[in-house]
Structure 1
């Protein structure tokens, strides 16, 4: 089992939705945290809250808009400069545009490609190299049910999640012999801020806490167990 006291977890999209739920769960498990999101004030508030609620953990953060290639490059440089590399990587950040491939704009295409695929690819490469050296670690890629059930009305989003699925498979094979685990989390409709104001009943959704609980379960398993993927859908089907 990966002992989580003083282990370091890097989480993207850490201040909202699934990322915030995962952040709270890992803090409760004793992880030191590296938090990535766009808003500095939200990150600073979250750091203060977590360190006051969970004695003994350390929280660092970096504000970054991963849709900006320059900022993403600086983030990768920061990760590479850390004295101790992350033991856990949560590639959570994502962007959803409900538009088909034929009707999307260039901005729709490039932003989704950069946020949903380029970002986890580059972070996994940087962090994976450190994990390979340390011969320990666990990478989680938050994918989507769209990677199994294509959504033509969200064309590029679907394509990027297929790419994340492929990345996960490749990383798992590359890192298997170095004692590093790689898991794909595949959520269906999840009640995040993108559904704010909806009148759809809560029980029609997965909750962000369900995703966090799935990750915690994987981390508590024995050294010999690698959960390759977890597919979570709402009880009554996707919305």
Structure 2
């Protein structure tokens, strides 16, 4: 059986991806800051796919030590990790000139650092066996920055840049790297906004894309996939 590690997996896109991989019979290592959410989600997955292993750890992925702890915990309990889904992230609407003093570091530590550290942790092992797939969930803000979410745009630019470097470094080594670039997607970022879900990308759309990309032939790699609402960005 294959093993996948997913950061921030109890809500939104991470949750949808975890469910989609569970239905594929793929073992899961998932983390969240909320212990009860993890417990409930693990139980839900096990009812749905009793044949797979699900391991959980409470972790704040904005803290490097906790990211490394989650990675070590996963390797110890699962062994080789076939799939990394760098999903954890935060969105903070603010102009850079009006933003709080800690916003830049907090968003860099949440939107970029975990992907970098998990790549460093698992990448050499993937290279040694010549297989693996890394998915980095970016944002259309990495392509078209949003002034009203300045730091967020910068960190997503950085994540897409990291994805491109990963791709070049892994090219020819049997390891695939894919940037998923969602537009307006119905996640907790929109919880205080009244929206029409029929005019948005759904987390299940992102999960479907990731599973289909993962299931492509050994010789195919999707460098990046952009998924936007059919009627345009909200």
TM-score (norm 2): 0.95
Residue 190 (structure 1) aligned with residue 185 (structure 2): yes
Residue 141 (structure 1) aligned with residue 136 (structure 2): yes
TM alignment of 1:62-211, pairs within 5 A: 62-79=57-74, 81-82=76-77, 84-196=79-191, 198-211=193-206
Residue 212 (structure 1) aligned with residue 212 (structure 2): no
Pairwise CA distance, 1:133: 1.6
CA distance in 2, matches of 1:186, 1:217: 15
Aligned match of 1:17: 12
CA distance in 2, matches of 1:76, 1:199: 37
CA distance in 1, matches of 2:16, 2:54: 15
Aligned residues: 234
**Do 1:168 and 1:183's aligned partners in 2 also have CA atoms closer than 8 Å?**
yes
Q: How big is the alpha-carbon RMSD for the aligned residues of Structure 1 and Structure 2?
A: 1.4
**Do 1:94 and 1:116's aligned partners in 2 also have CA atoms closer than 8 Å?**
yes
Gaps of 5+ in 2: none
Pairwise CA distance, 1:81: 4.0
CA distance in 2, matches of 1:151, 1:23: 29
CA distance in 2, matches of 1:146, 1:135: 32
TM-score (norm 1): 0.93
Gaps of 5+ in 1: 1-5
| Change beyond 3 A, Cα 1:174–1:127 | same
